Amino acid sequence: MEAELAGMRVDYRRDELDVGDLASTWHEQLVRWLAEATEAGVVEPNAMVLATAGDDCFPSTRTVLAKDIDERGVVFYTNYTSAKSHDLRITRRAAATFPWYLQQRQVGLRGGVERVTPEETRAYWVTRPRGSQLGAWASAQSTYVRDRAALDACLAAAERRFADSAEVPVPPHWGGWRIVPESVEFWQGRVNRMHDRLRFEQNGIDRTWRVQRLAP
Ligand SMILES: Cc1cc2nc3c(=O)[nH]c(=O)nc-3n(C[C@H](O)[C@H](O)[C@H](O)COP(=O)(O)O)c2cc1C
């Protein structure tokens, strides 16, 4: 297997990226690439790998779904008592990567985080299927569960609890986080590992943005 792994490689020659190709803002460029990923048939194109660190400085990663992107940042929804939310509350920082291997692209961003308003959370919540809503009530995300039966019992309890309610309310422990980027890097694979890396970087003092090219 070692030998097979060593021999695995793909030649990247699908596309290129130069400064003149970029939209004028990071979020317009991200929305553009997200649309292109969707069009190209990338599976779950809005999935991003979210990195957080705990108070022990240990990093953790997991996938979440981006549900809103605009000039304010990138929003995802989760359980506010989960391991990731615990990290975010402590450090107020996150990084995330959209891995679009099909297109030989990735976008990496990092920045501060803030909780979205309850109104924003509710606006998204009502678009979720009832089953997902009940699942959010049933799962104390990131905590130990005795076995599958115990988990199924929690869902059944949530179903009973809201059986007579046409609408399932937003759980108090659930909502959105917004990553407010200070840098966003657009990466396009190129031949000979001479990839294009263009990074929008925000000046911490006057908040203006500039684009820098990085060596691959
Ligand atoms: C494709 C995909 C999408 C996911 N989307 C979310 C999401 O939007 N929110 C979420 O809380 N967990 C999502 N998950 C589950 C997380 O990866 C993770 O298991 C969970 O949030 C618990 O993480 P934590 O214990 O580090 O907090 C997703 C997993 C996959 C594979």
What is the per-residue pLDDT across 16-71, written as a single tens digit (0 to 9) for each? 999 999 999 999 999 999 999 999 999 999 999 999 999 999 999 999 999 999 99
* Residues within 6 Å of ligand 1 by CB: 44, 47, 60, 62-65, 76-79, 82-84, 141-142
Q: How much is the pLDDT for 189? A: 97
Active-site amino acid positions: 193
Question: Which amino acid type is present at position 186?
Answer: F
Within the chain, which residues score under 70 in pLDDT? 1-2
- What is the position in ligand 1's atom list of the atom closest to the CA of 87? 27
Q: How far apart are CA 32 and CA 29, in angstroms?
A: 5
* 163: DSSP letter: T
Alpha helices in 55-208 (DSSP H): 83-91, 118-125, 130-138, 148-161
Mutate which of 44, 48, 61, 64 for ligand 1 pocket (most atoms within 8 A of beta carbon): 64
How big is the chain, counted in residues? 216
Q: How far apart are CA 154 and CA 136, in angstroms?
A: 10
